A and B are shown apart, each in its own frame.
Chain A
């Protein structure tokens, strides 16, 4: 196996550092891998893995555009296949980092190389991705659009590599991998009506189709796998999209749609401070009256996964947008920016308001393995009215109840000053890094004669 298939984006030494951290923090994973090996041997008949159920897919990005595409199946735990799907339920159930790693390492990724535009590297002359229904790409597509796990038979080329890939900040960690020869469906997958509609309409731009699915009640997790498998968008534009990219694309697209919905809403009328805590990440969300403006500031403690040297200073990153959104790509905070923004926009839409919003994310050294950007999305979503997030080692009963209630402040800058006392960086450093903490954009109409508020 090629090394770059394995490592999503890190330099080898960073990767090694993460593995070391992962080892120090949890032996449970190693035990778990042994169980997996036993289950796997029992499920194997000849070269073919039988009795397999795939709840989801994975599209890699190494060697783009000839990328590995994979079917993820929980070997030996087929009855519970649904539980292995990354989505908001993991948060609701209070999964800790260990739980996520166990789920993900229990999923075998049977993968095969494919070109993003055409079904297989060997047959570039074959039809483009949009109407491939057989072969490995076709089966992967069926799994992606189905709303429940699909029974499959997967033919493997070799025995799986049981190494653990600790994941990245955006993608969920992945488990063992095997090279697949082929895959066959053993049942007719169940595909929701709305998904059929976007699948069949080949004049529908991807953004519009994604928004349609979202409005029809599909969460970003489902839309993301449909987009990944090349199952929506204009015919000529359809292609396989690496999972990591599609997560961000869906958060951004859906976020832009919701932002459009709140643009003309009245503003909230007081400064509110919301909080949540989950998996060693703490979130402060400050909402302030005015037109939409958003910023995410991240502070990563020394010793946490992205800032491994315990003697370094707190690492900071930020990105922001004004009323009309961003024109450039987010250079810092990447996928977390779009995930957090979506969580806030959904809340504002639900209350029919708009606001200026500063999200502060503090990553402590308890966050020892990145579990994927879903953690950011769900923590922000649930800060407003959902279940508090901090399961930690204490289980569900130990959830600290900081989410779902807000504190009030006189002014935005007052709120920032108060919150900054509890941050690992000084108020001054925060003001230098944060566009919103430095100053909130006012509007001209606030200065028209007779008006006192800004």
Chain B
């Protein structure tokens, strides 16, 4: 059983966070809310998202699992105007999702969840450094780095206690330092890793500029980025494997 009403904005943010990595995904319809976990085919980027029942206007579910084509669902969500509500009801027998937007009815055929790539186990990582910053600062770093290079180094200077961003291109360089004063919080630890901007740019698109983002970093280790959306009732964790420089 699944019946829910949600705002177009909340649905769009949810779908956008996932679709930067995969085309299809499984959605767990738990009693307390939605859960989505997915990894891209190269096993480089992972997303773990939850959207609590409180983020919905109304929400009823009992632990079902559905598979969806994300671009389809995004197209449908795009039919709603800002502020409009989107209504969902799952037909268990036909395995179709009925969607209503102000009189517009759309019946979406679902994908057999077994045919979708297996959900990843979330690696248990011990990441010594933690940086909390505003979405717009991360956004600025990624945009600047992208002007000169295809990759970006993120790290923490333990002695002088700052978070830094480095990008080295063919001829030009970008460097940015954010001290404790510029950051919301900083937990110093040994951290420096290189990441592909192809991935980071996509993930960054899903991060609102006015949100608080937490980055967990290590030395040549994956980065974990968490942030909230839907007024804190939604949480996203991205994980991205580094480009290895040393061996």
Contacts and interface: CB of A to CB of B under 8 A. Distances in A.
Interface of A: 291, 316, 320, 322-324, 411-414, 431-433, 435, 438-449, 454
A441 B44 contact: yes
Contacts of B123: 444-445, 447-449
B35 interface: no
Interface of B: 39-46, 120-121, 123-125, 150-151, 168-171, 194, 196, 198, 221-222, 239, 241-247
Nearest 8 interchain pairs by C-beta: A439-B243, A323-B42, A443-B43, A411-B247, A439-B194, A439-B245, A448-B123, A442-B241
Contacts of B120: 444
Given A291-B43, A411-B247, A441-B44, A447 B222 contact: yes
Contact of B245 (A324, A413, A433): A413
A79 B198 CA distance: 54
Contacts of A439: 151, 194, 242-245
Contact of A447 (B45, B125, B171): B125
A444 B241 contact: yes
Contact of A323 (B41, B121, B242): B41
Given A320-B150, A444-B44, A448-B123, 8 more contacts: A324-B42, A413-B245, A413-B246, A438-B168, A439-B194, A441-B243, A443-B42, A443-B241
Nearest to B43: A443
Contacts of B247: 411-414, 454
A155 to B, nearest CB: 53
Contacts of A323: 41-42, 44
Contact of B244 (A324, A433, A440): A440
Nearest to B46: A444
Nearest to B246: A413
Contacts of B151: 435, 438-439
16 contacts: A323-B41, A323-B42, A411-B247, A413-B247, A432-B171, A438-B168, A439-B151, A439-B245, A440-B243, A440-B244, A441-B42, A442-B44, A442-B242, A444-B239, A445-B123, A449-B124
A412 B120 CA distance: 28
A444 B43 contact: yes
